[in-house]
Amino acid sequence: MGPLLSLLALGLSVAGASDETEVQLMAGAAEVIVNPLYPDTEGLETYGDLYTRTLVLGDGTQRVAIVTVDVGTLHFPFIKILLKSISHATGIPEGNIAVNWSHSHNATLIESGPYQKWLDSHIVRIVKEACDNLQPATICIGREPVQIAYNRRLMRDGQIVMAPNPKGAIVPWTDVLGAYSQDGERIGVLFSYAAHPVIVHFPKWPDPEPVYIGPDYPGYAVDHLHNLLDIDGKSKGVYMFAQGCSGNVNGFPLRGGVGAADAAGLSLAFAASRGLAEAKPIAAAPLKVHSLTISLPYRVPTVAECEELLVEDPENEDYHWLMDIAKSGGRRYEECPMFAFAFGDELCIVCLPGELFAEYQLFADKISPFAHSLVMGDTNGRVGYVATKKDYDLGHAGGYEASSKGRLSLDPSVEQVVQDGIRRLLMELKAM
């Protein structure tokens, strides 16, 4: 049957092969290692390679590019430059490009300026390579249950602490997208999961202790997926992990070490392989892209609240900063750009910035008018944590992600704002 199972064996047909439609689905993929290189990183150890990968999809008329990067965080200024660079090199509109980062806590060196420029050039190169290799394709989508994480917000003695909460929200599945060529060869696989990659969690360079650079469980998942799907040790296609809405979810166990991350990656890879085996081809349909920017309101403290904090700690600079904000009056907002694209009514990919709580991914999936929706968080810029109303209502007891003590937190009304934005984005995309 050849090096890969044929599309016939998978029960698939090539999109565009029938005269019933003029739409031809297209796909191309590429990847490159982007391990940071520094002249003064004594004590820096790499337990796994970092990659940037891309999957370009199209309908013969327009294209979208999905880029995944094994880094901790990508901020708006870098993303803005990167989108322009990709668009200039490929002709893909900036609004058609999604850059998702894995959020590995062992890959935070992106904060260095020199590395950003170097990374930018590598990402642009592979997106152009994927565009150059664009070919007729069948796109399949599937979903498989899996849990390698726990909600990390537990109420203890009237205060939210970071500990496993079995009753807390998680996204208990992986979405899997496969792209195949006309002869059944695998072009690329995109699989998603929502959980902080903090199973390997060591001090950050240049702290005095040795630092381990690596991709955490997402990297191991990709490696194991190769072992499960490749034939005779030969790589078939680009396999890429996309981070979901993981603001309140940790990979388990926190600080479990390299072996635990490897085991979690294996479980995720098994689920992704099962999801891919059961994935169904979508009908060839025109590509639709839609974007929307919403404003997230902050909760500005009152002068009286700040005075209480300063009585507690008169020298606290953060409390003085909050007092200045309280005295200035007015509202403060965070811009939150989101976008989504779809092929017909069957497949929609939703791209949300920053660390939204898992509840928002569950909400988007529930209300989506599309047959299958894959939701990515940590995409195209960082807006920080976006919690839910019940979390912000806890005030100072809201824990690491939602506490209002010593910092501006988003207003409890933000949950309704984000939900309304997601609903509007999806409904307007569906109507296009």
Q: Is the pLDDT of residue 420 over 80?
A: yes
Q: By percentage, how much of the chain surpasses pLDDT 90? A: 69
Residue 113's pLDDT is what? 67
Residue range 353-396, pLDDT digits in tens: 989 999 999 999 999 999 999 999 999 998 889 999 999 999 98
Q: What is the mean pLDDT of residues 48-68?
A: 96
Residue 6's pLDDT is what? 37
Residue 212's pLDDT is what? 74
Name the pLDDT band for 13 (thresholds 50, 70, 90): very low
Residue 39's pLDDT is what? 45
Residue 10's pLDDT is what? 38
Residue 115's pLDDT is what? 76
Residue range 373-383, pLDDT digits in tens: 999 999 999 88
Q: By percentage, how much of the chain surpasses pLDDT 70? A: 89
Residue range 299-342, pLDDT digits in tens: 888 888 888 888 988 898 888 888 888 888 877 888 999 999 99
Name the pLDDT band for 118 (thresholds 50, 70, 90): confident
Q: What is the mean pLDDT of residues 280-290?
A: 97
Q: What is the pTM of this model?
A: 0.90
Name the pLDDT band for 199 (thresholds 50, 70, 90): very high
Residue 117's pLDDT is what? 82
Q: Is the pLDDT of residue 11 over 50?
A: no
Residue 44's pLDDT is what? 66
Name the pLDDT band for 287 (thresholds 50, 70, 90): very high
Q: Strand 63-69 to strand 51-58: parallel, antiparallel, or no bridges (unpaired)? A: antiparallel
Q: What is the mean pLDDT of residues 157-168?
A: 96
Residue 43's pLDDT is what? 57
Between 334 and 18, the more confident residue is 334
Q: What is the mean pLDDT of the chain?
A: 89
Residue range 205-244, pLDDT digits in tens: 445 455 678 999 999 999 999 999 987 766 789 999 999 9
